[in-house]
Structure 1
């Protein structure tokens, strides 16, 4: 059985995470690997229900602690029902967002620390961490234009927060890449989509069977 691997894509709104997750899944699956493509929040029926609670409605719908707990609950369900079983079967799991998004987004206002968010992850998801995380890095002004040009749907509640918030989120992501260079790779998302995908594939060379 091929050893399962867990790959996550992270970044701010409009950086192309979903596009690259699909492209990576297609490329790796075409190379003979068994792939599970998923997303957060969501990925399982129960977690998708929580996704709708989190991402729809007004900004004031949840306070930051409730929001963090809901994300942790969705992730616990996702890990238990989908991610962990797929890894145990030897599959490669590619996930659009995971724990680093919670760390980057829920810690911005200072009410929750990184350690507290990781405590929720330890309790809910047994501290499962990706083998490799790609953070797609794009100037906030460029990312904002991309978001404005598409139908954001249920991402409005969080995606619609102000520019200062999103700049702080990306600063957190960049700091994570600086702190954990072996796991987390910062990727220039201003390049052509095909170039980005090729760079991601090359960065996975050390994990390939």
Structure 2
């Protein structure tokens, strides 16, 4: 899919600070006069938000990995049609907290060797990647501690424990190598302002003139 705007995704393990950094980047770019849409996955459209409640709440074994792949892909398709693509076609900057790379990791690798299934569905139903993916890298022990401290109802994946978070970190770093043309990895183990400054510097080189 071609578009006039700029599509930026943030990825990282739970508790990495990616959501905070996505918000700070949106605020920064709006301050520069850019038209920005800040969104998230799963979610970002009414239908996708309903699916979010299904997949992020409840017992860790509520869904199989294959069922999760279908649910996340359905949510992403609705999000793409109703939020992301219209904004990009209008020339806006879309900042998304998680996108398909999270499904490649959480369902495609960590919960079974299903990466090929994720990629096949992505090509068939989504057909696009972000222009830039910012990976906020974080020590899994610290990240999980942060995530659990939030005490929200959306803790289904955190409940899988540190082993999953370690696998996710390894997997995300491997993805950054696989898709080196769009990934930038930033050390998230520092102060929020330091991380934000690095994010802003990276994004400044990709902004439309």
TM-score of the two chains, using structure 2 as the length reference:
0.94
Deviations 1:122-161 (A, max 9, x none): 2221x1110000111111111122123222322x111211
Give matches, 1:28-177, under 5 Å: 28-106=29-107, 107-113=109-115, 115-125=116-126, 127-154=127-154, 156-177=155-176
CA–CA distance in 2 between the matches of 1:43 and 1:55?
14
Q: Report the Cα offset of residue 53 of structure 1.
A: 0.7
Q: Report the Cα offset of residue 162 of structure 1.
A: 1.9
Q: How many aligned residue pairs are there?
A: 205
TM-score of the two chains, using structure 1 as the length reference:
0.94
**Secondary structure of the equivalent of 1:204?**
helix
Q: Is the 8 A contact 2:144 2:158 kept in 1?
A: no
CA–CA distance in 2 between the matches of 1:74 and 1:157?
17
Gaps of 5+ in 1: none
Q: Report the Cα offset of residue 182 of structure 1.
A: 2.1
CA–CA distance in 2 between the matches of 1:137 and 1:86?
28
CA–CA distance in 1 between the matches of 2:125 and 2:4?
24
Q: Report the Cα offset of residue 189 of structure 1.
A: 0.2
Gaps of 5+ in 2: none
Q: Report the Cα offset of residue 164 of structure 1.
A: 1.2
Between structures 1 and 2, the one with greater helix share: 1
